[in-house]
Amino acid sequence: MKNKFIITLILGIVLISLAGASLENLGTFEQDDCITISQTCVSCSYVNISSISNNVNSTLTSNIPMVSFGNGEWRYDFCDNNETGRYDVRGIGDINGVDSSFAMYYEITSNGKEKPEGIIIVIFSIAFLGLLFFAIFSLLKMIAMWKDLDVDILDVAKAFGIYFVIFAFYYLTKYYMGNPVIEDLTLLMIKIGAITHIFVPLTAFLTSMIFNPMRKKR
């Protein structure tokens, strides 16, 4: 009796392992893009998508026939990928006249790349905070020099340099991170920086050029 229980347990583990191994990963795709779900079945007279679901909606679509493209290839284009996360696809086809189910999944991220590791998120977060602090510090310094009419072309170049570093950081974040929060915050910094690190330095420089010689003459 004990031996039968052990054998049954081992068979159960094997079956679970096989079921997990048969779950196909279609890959990682960009948010809002259409993807092509495909299956290969030469002997099938039909292949249907039973359901597509994600962590927000349990049934995005159901009972949709896939289109045959010959040579046993069946396809279905799915475009409702407006949420990030995992999407599970389940379907059924009549392999050799016998209904057989299949399952697969894919990931949706904001940049179409796999989610970064935790250390990368930490590095980018620290870099973002450091860049924010340095940008604020340089702005306060620029205002102080503007007050003293002591802004030269080198100070303007430094401010421009910081602004373009923020631009570069935004594209690095978009390419490597795929984190909407940091992307939105960095984009906000770019919009604000157009005033604080472009308009303000230019205005401060022109003001210094005009009024500083006049003050010296007095």
Task: Break the chain into its structural domains and give their ranges.
Answer: 23-109, 118-217
Reported as a single tens digit per residue, the pLDDT across 140-189 is 988 988 888 888 899 999 999 999 999 899 888 877 777 777 888 888 99
Q: Is pTM beyond 0.75 here?
A: no
Domain 23-109 has CATH 3.20.20.70: no
8-state DSSP, 120 = H
d(C-alpha 136, C-alpha 164), whole Å: 15
| pLDDT for position 215 | 58
Reported as a single tens digit per residue, the pLDDT across 15-36 is 344 344 457 888 899 889 999 9
Q: Structure tokens of 74? A: 């069946």
Say yes or no to pLDDT of 217 above 70.
no
Show contacts of 127-133: CB within 8 Å, 24+ apart.
127/169, 128/169, 128/173, 128/182, 128/185, 128/186, 131/165, 131/166, 131/169, 131/189, 132/189
| pLDDT for position 21 | 43
Query: What average pLDDT score do residues 91-112 get?
Result: 90
How buried is residue 199: exposed, middle or buried, by Cβ count under 10 Å (0-12/13-18/19+)? exposed
| pLDDT for position 18 | 37
8-state DSSP, 82 = -
- Which is higher by pLDDT, 3 or 130? 130
Given pLDDT bands bounded at 50, 70 and 90, which one contains residue 216?
low
- List the helix and strand counts (H, then E) for the chain: 5, 8
Question: Dihedral angle at the C-alpha atoms of 151, 153, 159, 162, nearest 10 degrees?
Answer: -150
| pLDDT for position 218 | 55
